Structure 1
Amino acid sequence: MAKLKVGMIGFAHTHAEGFLRALANHPEVEIVGVADENRSYVEPFDKQYPYFESYKELLATDIEAVFICSENVRHAPLTIDAAKAKKHIFCEKPLGTSVAEMEDMVAACKENGVQLMTAFNNRYVQAVIRAKKAVESGEIGTVIAVKGTNKGALPRREWFVDPNLSGGGAMLDHSVHVMDLFNWILQSRVVEVYAESGTLFHDIPIDDSGMVHFKYENGVIGVLDTSWSRVKAFPMKRDLTLEIIGTEGTIYVDVRKLSNEIYSNLSDSAEWSDWGDNLNSLIVGDFVHSIRMGIPVPITGEDGLNSARISIAAYESSRLGRPVAL
């Protein structure tokens, strides 16, 4: 079987580098080209692979799939154009910045017979997988509540704090991963959201903090602390924790626990070095396998929509000062 021909569109999100490396190391993948109108984002990969200033020129090649890691507001038009060009799509999170545009993305892919996968690589963390199995087997009884955190440093690239490019600040950026994990583990849908957000830690024109409260259809209640609150001294620039509270026990997961502590005079602060599984390789491998075998991708566009929908409702709730029904 011939290799899967893949292109990369957009390098604005820093995850693009990890996904590209995973593709380059995959024995069944051929990287045909990279595209971003902002060439500085693509360096140095524009020297390693054919560079396309226009993504439409890359879509006109014989690639079978594209990875989209652009600014958030461009996810929808890029995905829809790729779907119309009959390319399968792996899209960075959040899937989109409005419910309507995400529904259009999902519909375009279905209409054109291509698959859409959302980049939720934390589903591949072994502790998360084991927590899901423990919940499903009833090890902690009936789940009654969940708590999560996703606190990070201020993103390095300026587009993250530009509402016209990001579509939202920390409450969007740092809620979708955790909400996807809760959706996946609980196998229910959020029916109500109450949130408060603000700009408390940085002089930026967008939110850098938020508390999101939510209620699931199955009765589980939850809360998520999402922010860009970590200062430079933190060894790891972000955290991700889950607490799942049941009638017979509690599960606590710290996704960043798999690390070595490094103290060096060559660095400004202590550092952590991950030694867990390469999540980018695992999720990219699943996408490639699904496309080559013609089977459904494991993390769909609908999954991306269901997670980001909660974040969008959180902004509405924060603006209105009351709970919002989904």
Structure 2
Amino acid sequence: MTMPLRIAVLSFAHTHALSYVHALSAMPGIELIATDPDGASAPDDAPRGAALAAELGVAYVETYDEAFAWKPDAVVVAAENSRHRALVERAAAEGVHVLCEKPLATTVEDAVAMRTACDDAGVILMVAYPVRFAPAVRDAIAELRSGRLGRVLGVTGINNGKLPQDRAWFTDPSLAGGGALVDHVVHCADLLDDLLGERAASVRAVSNGILHGQRDLAVETGGLVTLQYPSGVIATIDCSWSWPMSSATWGGLTLQVVAERGTVTVSPFAKGVAGHDAAGETWDPIGADLDALLLEEFVASVRAGRQPQPDAGVGIRTVEIVTAAQASAARAGEVVTL
């Protein structure tokens, strides 16, 4: 008989933490707890802490110390970006496997240190990039890797969405590390990493705060990033928080790949049922639960003792791209070499 796997969700800061709790609660053989000690000092009024845990139906402890005293086999780190390193290093020191929310860290130095800590401790470090688990994405990448369409020439990536105002830390540079460039570049960068299998050679970016400018935010709300790869592939990523707050959904991600003998467009969040209710427009997505697929791979890897993808190496490379994009945007679009 398989022993139950103990998993602790560390923080409700990231909104994905809620779906992680739902997915893990539905899995057989999982004992689950959560903690969110930083929720009380959050810069917004969104539900956090014990109240949110009760709403989600998950057992709750008050501190990270109590969570680790529970002796989990693995943790899901869903804290504010700047708090990832301390929690991942704590887990490594305790011999606990880690699934860490994206981006892995707010600096390349922190991301590398996190990988080193987990490697030295012999524990898994996986980065939460659920979009790569979308069946449409996997099918598209398999088609491109087959060679039937020839060499990839260029990629247009779009990851737009709403301003994440329900979690105000996303627009606090000390907690998030930046704005739209940090929040939305990394998903497309992860898919490019998987598709192309090579590290970007240079990055150019522009950004501004025109979108939602009336809110006097300290971070960028719109941006466009251009990547050049050693093979000659040029990729662009529109990472803006450009969807209106009245939209029925948060936004969407689309990747269009141009190859020698054809194009492939994948948009994993495009399918759904649109309608209206008393509050206005509604949208019910159709398709796989990507967070659940991500967690299934993480849990299976912990049980099997194998390193899953996306790993810390991907996390580091995507943080490198974001950091270079921020530097380029600060220098009026100057090309930054990696």
- For this structure pair, what is the TM-score category when the shorter chain's length is used for normalisation? over 0.9
Measure, in 2, the Cα distance between the counterparts of 1:37 and 1:190: 35
Q: Within 5 Å, give how 1:1-326 maps onto structure 2.
A: 1-39=2-40, 40-42=47-49, 43-46=51-54, 48-155=57-164, 156-202=166-212, 203=215, 204-264=217-277, 266-268=278-280, 270-321=281-332, 322-326=334-338
CA contact (8 A) 2:33 2:61 kept: no
Shift in Å at residue 46 of structure 1?
Answer: 4.5
CA contact (8 A) 2:34 2:53 kept: no
Shift in Å at residue 298 of structure 1?
Answer: 2.2
CA contact (8 A) 1:192 1:216 kept: yes
Give the aligned residue type for 2:279: S
CA contact (8 A) 2:163 2:245 kept: no
Give the aligned residue type for 2:319: A
Shift in Å at residue 33 of structure 1?
Answer: 4.0
1:44 alignment partner, SS class? helix
C-alpha change, 1:82 and 1:46, in structure 2 (3 Å) is farther
Measure, in 2, the Cα distance between the counterparts of 1:60 and 1:218: 49
2:43 aligns to what?
none
Over the residues paired in the alignment, what is the CA RMSD in angstroms?
A: 1.3
Q: How many residues align?
A: 324
- Of the structure 1 ranges 40-49 and 59-68, higher mean CA displacement relative to structure 2 is found in 40-49
Give the aligned residue type for 1:12: A
Shift in Å at residue 28 of structure 1?
Answer: 2.1
Measure, in 2, the Cα distance between the counterparts of 1:36 and 1:276: 34
1:250 alignment partner, SS class? strand
Measure, in 2, the Cα distance between the counterparts of 1:239 and 1:63: 34
Fraction of identical pairs, as percent: 34
CA contact (8 A) 1:35 1:58 kept: no
Shift in Å at residue 52 of structure 1?
Answer: 2.4
Q: Write the deviation string for residues 98-119 of structure 1: whole angstroms up to 9, x where unpaired.
A: 0000000000000111100100
TM-score by length of 1: 0.96
Unaligned runs of 5+ in 1: none
Measure, in 1, the Cα distance between the counterparts of 2:155 and 2:174: 33
TM-score by length of 2: 0.93
Measure, in 1, the Cα distance between the counterparts of 2:172 and 2:35: 24
Measure, in 2, the Cα distance between the counterparts of 1:27 and 1:262: 35
Measure, in 1, the Cα distance between the counterparts of 2:85 and 2:136: 32
C-alpha change, 1:32 and 1:237, in structure 2 (3 Å) is closer
2:158 alignment partner, SS class? strand
Shift in Å at residue 263 of structure 1?
Answer: 2.1
